[in-house]
Every structure is written in structure tokens, then in C-alpha cells.
Amino acid sequence: MRALTIAIVLAPAAAHAGGFAVPEQTITAAGTGGAGAARDDEAGAAWTNPAALADGGGWRIGVGVVAARPAVEGAAMDGSWHARTDGAWATPPHLDVAWSGGAWTAGVAIGVPFGGGVAWPGDWAGRFEIVSSQLIDGRIAPFVGVRLGAWRLAAGPHVDRARLTVARHLDFIDAEGDAVVDVAGTGVGGHAAAWWSRGALAVGATYKSRTRVAMSGGADFETPPEFSGAAPDQRAQATITLPDRLALGAAWRRGPWRALADVEVTLWGTYDQLTIDFADDATRDVHQPNHWHTTAAVRAGGEYALGATTTLRLGAAIDPSPAPDETLSPIAPDGLRWSVTAGGSRRVARGVVVDGFAEYLRVAARTTTGMETMPARYQGWAVLFGAGVRWGARAR
């Protein structure tokens, strides 16, 4: 009876918000819809395409922060409830450092490539499925690269540190309790990039490998006194495999104009299932099927140089959801995303440039077809702002 009770109160609580890639990793690329695989000659290329930096350009350093506020809205199909997440501001930072001399380059990119979550009101209708969830992944990605004629190549390892937190209420019929799972871990992967140019055209390709992150931590329970022995606090383990990402991009320059476009393929099939293993044998482990699939996002934009000191940018992106309708739930209320962006740069001193961007993102409405969650329709949106400063002898 004890094992059955714990399995029932825990089983739905094992996932986090869907489609959790964070494409806004440099302020300049974010201004053109996230297109950056063919960018060169700036510190942010340490993330978007480090091979492009094998140009003998010396030191480049860039730092930035993005402020994002998302919101998700859910409504019952029969009109019995309506709720909206309490979206707080998130501020993922990034740092890029690179050096190039002769035909060689080396550097490191630090960012938050994956993250997301939901925070529903504590008294909403689905509180026994989910109240809040958050995943955040920080990555350090050093690299070395070389120029071989018209080609530039780079590669290196990356180290991910991820943390997953899930909270929900527990239903004891005449009373309620709380459960929180908080686990974290580290994983290692690799990345490679290539860049080629001829005249006004540049082409770039990048590959960032999957990372298997084994996480451990605790599961904490608050229950009515009569159930205190049914759900003991204990250790918990979980594993998440962050997906492979492949991007192919092109940039074309004519006078003060430059157009950029990327196609990015993310192999979300690595997130087919999430399992949480509890230390207490009486607590049944959780196996949450997700059945996510590969997606292809398109990002494009353009920029215009106003003289030697100012650049203006516009962009747009469309990014399909990896989650099928049957696994759509308030834990993962994801959908097709489209966004529009605007940004700019201003040189304020010799080699010093200040960048900024703004973005509006919309998540298309979707209705769940799953049989193990409450029938509902979800949609969402987000606003993002970013600012940064970079330095380099050729910065523009």
C-alpha cells in the first residue's frame, strides 16, 4: 500500500517545460533572428562559429546578458478553469574570449544553451500535476582552430552543468501535501565548426554534440501527519541527454548591407524519456515518456551599417515544437514558436562596441490529445531584451 500511494502522488511530476533550447547566445546574432553560423570578426563567433575567428585578428572579448520574461496560458476544454503562469524575469549571461594569430585561433565560450520552466499559481486546477519546474544548463566550450586557405576549422570539448527542479502538490483527498525534486549533475560533449568565404559570400557550419548529464540530489515531501511515513525525504537520481545541434548558415554582404540566414537542426529524440530513480525501494521510480522528435528551425535577418560607428539589425525566426500532441501537458506546454527581433551596435571607443537587441516571441496555441493529463489548450509568449559590450582590434 505504501509503494502504491507514493507512485500515485509522484508519477506525473517528472518532466519540465518543453523545447528548452535558448538560441539567444550572442547579442549581435539575436538581433538578426538568431542567425550566426556564418558570422565572423567578433567575439560572439566563439559561440556561433569559432572557426570564423582563425583570421589573425588578435584578441576579442565579449560579455552580455539577456533578460527574458515568458508567460503561458492554459484553459480547460470545458471552460471550467483558466490559468496563467507567473513568469519571472530570467537573466542568462554569456562570455566569449578568443585570440587569433597567424593561421591559428583559440578561445572559450561560456553560456546557457538550455533552460526553461513553468510556474503555475499554487492554487490552480492542475496543481496535482505541476506547480513549478525549472531546468538550467550552463556550458563552458573551449576551442582551437586553424585557417587552411579559404577554409577555417575549429573544434573542442564542452562541459555542461545542469540542474532540474520540479515541485507539485500532493492530493490526500481530505488534505494536501507538497513534493519537490531537486537534482544536478555534469556531463561532457564536444563541438566542431567550419567556415568558408569567397568574395561577398560566407558559409558556416557547426555541430554541438549531445551531452549525457547524470544528476543526483534530493526528493523532499511535506505530508499530513497521518501520512508522514508514506513519503519520506530521500535521495534521487535522474539522467537527461541534451540534444545534438547542427547549424548551416550563410552571410552575404553588399556595401553597407549584410543578409544572414541559418537552418538549425536539433535532435530532440535524445529526450525520449525522463527517469527519476528514488533511493527508497518502497518509492516506485518514475518513467516519464516524452517521445520528442527532431526539429529544424529557420532564422534569418539583415543588418545595415550607418557609417563606421553604428549598425542596425532586424530579424525573424520560426522554431517548431519537438513535443507531440499526446505528450503535451501543463508540465511541457510547448508549441510552434515564431519571433521577430530588432537590434543595433554602436562603437563608443577604439575597438569597443556596445550591442543591444529586443525580441517578441509567440508560442502557437495547441490542444493536448494525451489521455493521462487534463484536457486543455495552451499558448504562450515572451519578451526578451539583451545588452552587451565587446572589444577587439577590428570590432565593428
Domain ranges of the chain: 2-392
Residue 25 in grid coordinates = 547566445
Q: What pLDDT does residue 173 have?
A: 82
The mean pLDDT value for 153-174 works out to: 93
Question: C-alpha angle 28/29/32, rounded to 5°?
Answer: 100
Mean predicted lDDT score pLDDT of the chain: 90
CA distance 28 to 25: 9
CA distance 55 to 74: 50
Band of pLDDT at residue 174, cut at 50, 70 and 90: confident
- Per-residue pLDDT tens for 255-273? 999 999 999 999 999 988 8
Q: What pLDDT does residue 327 have?
A: 83
Query: Percentage of the chain surpassing pLDDT 90?
Result: 68
Q: Which residues of 321-341 are buried (b: 16+ CB within 10 A; e: fewer)?
A: bbbeeebbbbbbbbbebebeb
Least-confidence region, from 10-19, 190-199, 224-233: 10-19
Query: Is 0.85 topped by the overall pTM?
Result: yes
Residues with Cβ within 8 Å of 105's Cβ and at least 6 positions away in sequence, in order, are 50, 51, 53, 54, 55, 98, 99, 143, 144, 145, 146, 152, 154
CA distance 391 to 394: 8
Which CATH superfamily is 2-392 part of?
A: Outer membrane protein transport protein (OMPP1/FadL/TodX) (2.40.160.60)
Band of pLDDT at residue 175, cut at 50, 70 and 90: confident
Query: Percentage of the chain surpassing pLDDT 70?
Result: 94
Query: Is residue 14 exposed (0-12), middle (13-18) or buried (19+ Cβ within 10 Å)?
Result: buried
Residues with Cβ within 8 Å of 206's Cβ and at least 6 positions away in sequence, in order, are 37, 48, 49, 191, 192, 193, 194, 245, 246, 247
